Each structure stands twice: as C-alpha cells, then as structure tokens.
Amino acid sequence: MAAAKKIQIYDTTLRDGCQSEDVSLTVDDKVQIARKLDELGVDYIEGGWPGSNERDAAFFREVKKARLRHARIAAFGSTRRANVKASQDRNLQLLLKADTPVATVVGKTWDLHVREALRISPEANLEILHDTIAFLKKRVDEAIFDAEHFFDGYFNNPEFALACLRAVDDAGAALICLCDTNGGRLPHEIEDAVRVAVETVRCPIGIHCHNDSEVAVANSLAAVRAGASQVQGTINGLGERCGNANLVSIIPDLQLKLGYQCVAPPKLKVLQELSMLVYELANITPHPRQPYVGRSAFAHKAGLHVSAIQRDARTYEHIDPALVGNDRRVLLSELSGRANIVYKSREFGLDIEQNNEKIGHLLDELKRLESEGYSFEGADASFELLMLRTLGMAREHFRFVSFRVFDDKWHEDRAPFSEAVVVIEGPDGKRSRTAAIGNGPVNALDSALRQALVPYYPSLEAMELSDYKVRVLDNGRGTGARVRVLIESTDGRRRWGTVGVSANVVEASWQALVDSVEYKLHKDNVKPRAKAPAAAGNGRSRSRRGAAGSASAESGA
C-alpha cells in the first residue's frame, strides 16, 4: 500500500495570529505555544517579524533554548525596498539577524498594488522579487516566498501574477505560498489558480488563506487537491479581521478525511490541548462549537441520538472524538430520554438498567427543574447529586438549618463588605453557628459554610471556587427576575459544575455552593471525624457588622 502523501504544516499563530485585534502574547507565551506546536508535529513555526518589534526579536533568541525536536523556526519579513540593494535593506538585515533556518518574505503579485502601493513599474517589481530571494537563498537553509494577493492578482492580470512566481522560482525559492490575502475568493477559484501555478513553476506550492468569506478551511483543502504541498494557517483561526485558515480543522480534515499525512497519527490527540492552550494564553473564551476540539463538538442532547450512539457511535459522530483529544458528552435537558439518563449513570460509575422505574421519576424531575430554569449542561455535579437522591443512594453529610447575609458600606469612599452567618447540623447531630467576612455575599457564605464543615471534613480546605456566572432568566421583570447561578469548583485534581435557581441571587448561589460541597464530599467518599474539635464553628470571625443600612436575607430548611 502506497504511503500517504505528506502535506507540510506551516503555523503562523505567533505572527499572523497575533495580528488579531484582541490578542497579545508575551515572549514566554509564544515559547510555550511553540513547544506545544512542536509536540503536535507541525513542520514550520513562524515566530514573528523581527524587523517590526523587539518582542518578536526576543522570541527568536528565547526559542533557541527550547530545543525543539521537529519544527523549523521561520522569521518573517518583506522583500527589499525599491532602489535599495538587498544587501543594504534594513528589514532583510534584521530578518537574517534572527538567525533562523527559514526566512519567509512577502512580496507583491497583484499589479494593482505594484502601481498604487509601491508606485513602481511591473519590471521593477519582478527585479525586487528575484533579487530578494537570490540574496536570502545564499544565507538561509530555506527561502520561502509569500505571494501576497496572488489570487486577486491572478484573476485580474494572470500574466503578471504568474511572471512574479517565475521570478522567485528562477531565483531559487524553496517554496512559493499563494496568499488569498483579502479572503474573498471561493474554493473553485482557488483550485483553478493553484493548478495553473503548480504547472507554471518548478518549486513546491503552498497555500495561505484568510477567512473573510468564511471558506478559508475549504479554500485550503481545495488548494491541496489542486497540488499544493504546504498549508499555512493559525491555531483556532486567529488573525487579522476575520482570521486565518484554522489549522485545528485543516489538519484532521486532511489526515482523517482525505488521507494525507500532516502529523504522526498519535499526535492528533494533542490538537484539543493545543487549541485550549492558545485560547488560555490569548485570554479568549474557547469557542464551544469549534469543530473537532470544541466542548460541544461531540455533545449529544436529544434522547434519540444518545440511544443510537450507545449502539454505534458512528450514527451521530463523524469521527472518534478521542482521535483529536476530545471527549463525548451527553447533555441533560427537557429533550432527554431514558438513554441519556442511563448513559450518564454509567459515566458516574452507576449501573442502572433502562427499565428501572426510578429512571422515569428522575426524568420527570429533570424536566420539571428545567422548566423552572435549571440547566444541567454545565452542571454535571448537580445532576449526579440529583440522580443519587432520586435513586435513594445519596448520603447526607450535614443538614442545613439557616443562613443570614449582611452587606455593609460605612462610607462612600470605602468598599462595601459582606458577613455571612451559617447554621448547620453536623454529622454528629450537633448544631454549629459560624460567621465569616467575605468579598461579597457569595464569598462570605462560601467561607462560613466551609469553616463550619472543615472540622468534620478536612479535605474541604483544598476546595475553591474557580468560576461564577449569573444568568437572568426573566428578562422582562428587571431586578425581580429569577436568576440561574453556575459555579465551577476545583480541588486541584478535579473540576466540577453546580447550579442553583431563584429570584434571590444569594439563594441561587447558596444552592450551587451546597451542591459543590456535597459533590466534593461524595467523590472523596470521606467519613466525618467521630467528633468535631471543641471549637468547631462556635466562634465568630472578626465581625465588622455595621448598623443601619445592613441588608439581610434568611432562609430555613
């Protein structure tokens, strides 16, 4: 059997991706991403434009210390200026100073730009292209030419655009990358032009597409089908305007769907982790519906779908999510059926038959709660507790008695503060009253509750809230609307989500808080201390409880 054709992957996240208006990466961020790209197995990592800023120059110095195993680092720049020798061009000198094995330069191939932007003759532009590549070829291992606006140039003046390609080919370019710089071309146009380019020059052809028409991935695939052997793009499609071709989709498309080889097959599992790393370092919320790696990419909600994938996952999944490092998720909602419940029970380590009559009760309760505004799609921990309670398998770690929250502000130029008082009945049957100051009522409640429980369950000291979201459910009711609170918690080993719903945001938060604590104790499967220490929760924390103007809320079980 013939080996799969190799398609080179050229990543430009660290240069073109950083041109996104909402992205700014530090040198350390860029080195960290470079290491992960190398782990994935990309062939080239374009680190930046050393002639444009000191941060990119610093990256080229630091990345040498990373000792990458596979990827080659490329520095980016532009062709020499008109009427300046290549050897005397400052940008080319800075490009070489980066000391990378690969130098990529961008040059004009659209006669409109030559006339209006450079204001030189077509012949002068051809000379610039040839001289620049000939100069670099003698000084770096590979000189790559990025043919800027090639497709727009080709469809407006094909003779000149192809003449530009021949000029750099004759000068010894290692590869010519055809750029859809404005992102306006469609797949059939890309395929036609790439095929002609492949027939025109001797060196390999690459493709670099922007996503302004939302077909950058499709255009890249069309180019490969027409003969391109390298694809340039960015992780998560980052880039100027609407972004670049998304390598996170292109790599599995080429490898899993079209039979090309981009990276070693086991390395595909790095894709999801790499995607999340770039989102994290760029401070961008991950796109949940991103193909292949998004949280929702293999999420199933309808009961019919869940029932089918339990028999054969191919019924509603185009690939095995594990191939790209992702996971299958079964969601719970008013659309859920028995199959969803059974699937989730097995996910939680419970063996329940589909004909168990309690599943019907659980399904009814789930739909009732959903109708009230609860959502368990981001709160698996709350659903697992709901399942355990309905099935009679839940263990009561403590009993809630009451809570009260005070919000005080003593002076206009001072920040407000909150104090929470929580009364619980511990597993030994004794009541304790605990107070705590917090940065807001939810933080105060969280602190007071855990202060009361830590004497019984010391493992709660390792738990903390990592995220807190409030969603208004009744938009037309203003401040009297019901809200849904989602809390994400972690203990350093696990992360879990819980939910609460109420017209009182403090009460909704309390529901989610209690679930987060109960889930932690359930998963730890801890037994309480036989007897709490003498000071268990009976003392008060430093109280700054003010006077008039304090707000309070109280709830009893």
Task: Give the architecture-level CATH label for domain 286-367.
Answer: Irregular (4.10)
132: its two tokens: 């620049």
CB 260 within 8 A of CB 6: yes
Tokens 């104090």 sit at which residue? Answer: 419
Count of positions (residues) in the chain: 557
3-class SS string, 14-55: CCCHHHCCCCCCCHHHHHHHHHHHHHHCCCEEEEECCCCCHH
Rounded Cα gap, residues 264 and 516, in angstroms:
41
429-435, long-range: CB within 8 Å, 24+ apart, which pairs?
430/532, 430/536, 431/401, 432/532, 432/536, 432/537, 432/538, 433/537, 433/538, 434/537, 434/538, 434/540, 434/541, 435/540, 435/541, 435/543
Over the chain (557 residues), what is each successive 10-residue block's mean pLDDT? 88 96 92 96 96 87 95 97 94 95 98 95 97 98 98 98 98 98 98 98 98 98 98 98 98 97 96 92 89 85 63 83 82 54 65 64 78 80 86 86 90 85 93 92 93 93 89 74 90 90 93 94 76 39 29 31
Cβ contacts of 283 within 8 Å, gap of 6 or more: 22
Q: What pLDDT is recorded for position 384? A: 87
Which candidate, 276, 283, 150, places its Cα nearest to that of 206?
150
Q: Does domain 10-263 have CATH number 3.40.630.30?
A: no
Q: What pLDDT is recorded for position 413? A: 80
Where helices occur in 293-440 by DSSP H, the ranges are 303-311, 338-347, 357-371, 380-390
240: its two tokens: 């100027």
Burial class (CB in 10 A: 0-12, 13-18, 19+), 116: exposed
The total of other beta-carbon atoms located within 10 Å of residue 40's CB is 24
Q: What kind of fold does domain 399-556 have according to CATH?
A: Double Stranded RNA Binding Domain (3.30.160)
> SS3 for 343?
helix
CB 46 within 8 A of CB 208: no
Burial class (CB in 10 A: 0-12, 13-18, 19+), 242: middle
CB 123 within 8 A of CB 98: no
Instruction: Sketch the domain layout of the chain as residue ranges.
Output: 10-263, 286-367, 399-556
> HSE on the CB side for 20, CA within 13 Å?
25
Q: What pLDDT is recorded for position 102? A: 98
Beta 483-490 vs 495-502: how paired, if at all? antiparallel
Rounded Cα gap, residues 6 and 95, in angstroms:
28
Please tell me what DSSP assigns to residue 335.
T
Q: What pLDDT is recorded for position 555? A: 31
Burial class (CB in 10 A: 0-12, 13-18, 19+), 289: exposed
Cβ contacts of 27 within 8 Å, gap of 6 or more: 55, 58, 59, 62
Q: What pLDDT is recorded for position 210? A: 98
